[in-house]
Amino acid sequence: MCGRYALIDGKKVLVAYTALNKVKLTDEVFRDLPRYNASPMQRLPVFAVRHDELVAEPMQWWLIPHWSKDGKPSFSSFNAKAETLDQSKLFAPYFKGSRCLIPADAFYEWQRVVTTQEVRGTQKKVEEKHPMCIRMKDEAPILFAGLFSIWKDAEGKENPTFTIITSEPNELLAPIHNRMPVIMPEQHIEQWLDRTYKDTEPLKQLLVPYPAGTMKAHRVSSLVSNPRNNSAECMKEVE
């Protein structure tokens, strides 16, 4: 799964990816950055084609289907499994025509580690969850593959929401977690965002683990476990 990530400088993303050079930005899209601990239900920057134009705008991280009666989350949809997208009643329609990209600098996963501790004078094995920060070795920004939905209330006011697609882990992530977010290489950006492209079989071939050799991971403090914490300390390496 992917339940936390960091986005520090949105403009750095625009510099890193030439395929995004023509994006139209809303005034508020990068207003709340940096986000060192982006969490589900927060409004976060997303790249998508809307009204035949590539835009960057804030969307709520937790996909709410357009057909929802009340526009409220009723099931877990902040992540979507790459392997079953085309079979999912919820995600399949958005996979065909409402794909997006979510910029990030890093993401977090919790590694289960068994340690031996003394508990009331007895040595016992205790399972701990160590938060890990994963990013590119050169610390370049990344783009998660995602899907988006536009829910409208009775007055027609829009609430755009999104989900992050996950895949099996690469060799770096495998000892840490059994899932990882799908990271989209630049050469596939235009195809992924093209809403007129409906052939999901080739698109599904893009949803694979990113090469482990280009990535790194380090342990961080439990600060990141609380979504209210939003400081550079969340990404700082600890032993």
Query: What are the DSSP calls for 141-193, one per residue?
Result: -EEEEEEEEEEE-TT--EEEEEEEEEE---TTTTTT-S-EEPBPPGGGHHHHH
Residue span of the structural domain in which 31 resides:
5-235
Whether the predicted pLDDT of 116 surpasses 80: no
Q: What is the mean predicted confidence (pLDDT) over 68-84? A: 93
Structure confidence at residue 86 as a pLDDT band (50, 70, 90): very high
Q: Which of 94-103, 118-127, 128-137 has the lowest mean pLDDT?
A: 118-127
Give the percent of the chain with pLDDT over 90.
87
* pLDDT on residue 75: 85
Whether the predicted pLDDT of 182 surpasses 90: yes
Structure confidence at residue 1 as a pLDDT band (50, 70, 90): confident
- The model's pLDDT over 32-49, given as tens digits with 9 standing for 90+, comes to 999 999 999 999 999 999
Structurally, the chain folds into a number of domains equal to 1
Alpha-carbon separation of residue 204 from 37, 58, 78, 85, 95 (angstroms): 29, 26, 19, 8, 9
Structure confidence at residue 123 as a pLDDT band (50, 70, 90): confident
Structure confidence at residue 121 as a pLDDT band (50, 70, 90): confident
* pLDDT on residue 20: 93
Whether cis (ω within 30° of 0) applies to the bond prior to 141 is no
Please tell me the distance from the alpha carbon of residue 102 to that of residue 90, in angstroms, as a whole number. Answer: 20
Backbone dihedral angles phi then psi of residue 209, each to the nearest 5 degrees: -60, 140
Positions annotated as catalytic residues are 2, 109
Tokens coding 113: 């580690």
Give the percent of the chain with pLDDT over 70.
100
Tokens coding 59: 């969307």
Closest CA to 3 of 164, 170, 125, 216: 164
Residue 200 belongs to domain with CATH number: 3.90.1680.10
Count of CA atoms in the C-beta half-sphere (13 A) of 124: 8
